[in-house]
Structure 1
């Protein structure tokens, strides 16, 4: 049975192969494609039947009785996208996230979802920090991350990726 993590108003359940259609629909939504970069290919690949592991987990986010988006949590250590970041350790997790349902945008739900997700990660794992790299012009995502305690560390050092690097530790997390 897929893992589900109830975190207050949000339920994070392990994505299954049958979720692929809705995830692809979300990834094709105009409000998502506007901000995507190659990092989102990890979400797309994860919904195509890749086996979950302790190092990578794709969650469907349920809120208000429905599926509203997804979150991919994976080990940043050893991932080629994160090798240039000096403070990434074996206990660092990276996240990619999206709200796919447009009706849930601009209502501070993303901020609450990120707080619930980070709390879940810190509670259930030995994670020392969580990293994220939204597009720098995606202010809703950047602001939501900062309000949860993520701190900006500059631009992602890979020249082909236009992304801002943000990080939160157990000490700076605003749970």
Structure 2
């Protein structure tokens, strides 16, 4: 089981280092300067944006990041997804990375995704589903989603984070478990 906490400004140097790692940079395509990290993560860290940036800890040490948000809070993004798949009211989405390359390939990504989604049902009682688009070329990412129990529900074109990627994406979904 992992622990996590909201990203704070003191974590920006760590995020900057992670975003510069080749295995992260390939898919996140993010500026890595401290100024860029502060610009892009600062509003969420200060609670000025509705998304949640969560630092994931293994044995008390940071190893990953999960971004979690309600799709309704980002109408343009919701509309782009809705062109491919039904987006139910209350749907959320996540994005994620493992910052430390030594921690990749160990099944931690799937565990991290599974635990965050389980926590989403507790943390967000009105959440109905979690939808996760992933570039079709990012096999490691969509395999982690599958191992975490999500199912592929759509394929189609979305704007890529990295311009070198094609527009082909898969969309994965987890639904809130039914209460028995």
The two structures have a TM-score, normalised by structure 1, of: 0.80
Q: Structure 2: how far apart are the matches of 1:92 and 1:135?
A: 20
SS at match of 1:132: strand
The answer for the alignment partner of 1:117 in structure 2 is 116
The answer for the alignment partner of 2:77 in structure 1 is 81
Structure 1 residue 90, shift from structure 2 partner: 3.7
The two structures have a TM-score, normalised by structure 2, of: 0.78
More helix, by proportion: 2
> Considering only aligned residues, what root-mean-square deviation do their CA atoms show, in Å?
2.4
Q: Structure 1: how far apart are the matches of 2:151 and 2:48?
A: 28
The answer for the alignment partner of 1:12 in structure 2 is 4
Q: Answer yes or no: is the 8 Å Cα contact 1:75–1:94 preserved in 2.
A: yes
SS at match of 1:81: helix
Q: Structure 2: how far apart are the matches of 1:133 and 1:92?
A: 13
Unaligned runs of 5+ residues in structure 2 are 31-36, 161-166
Structure showing greater radius of gyration is 2
Q: How many residues align?
A: 159
SS at match of 1:19: helix
Unaligned runs of 5+ residues in structure 1 are 1-8, 39-43
Q: Answer yes or no: is the 8 Å Cα contact 1:14–1:58 preserved in 2.
A: yes
- 1:89-119 per-residue CA deviation (whole Å, 9 max, x = no partner) reads 3411110100001111000011111111000
Q: Structure 2: how far apart are the matches of 1:136 and 1:52?
A: 32
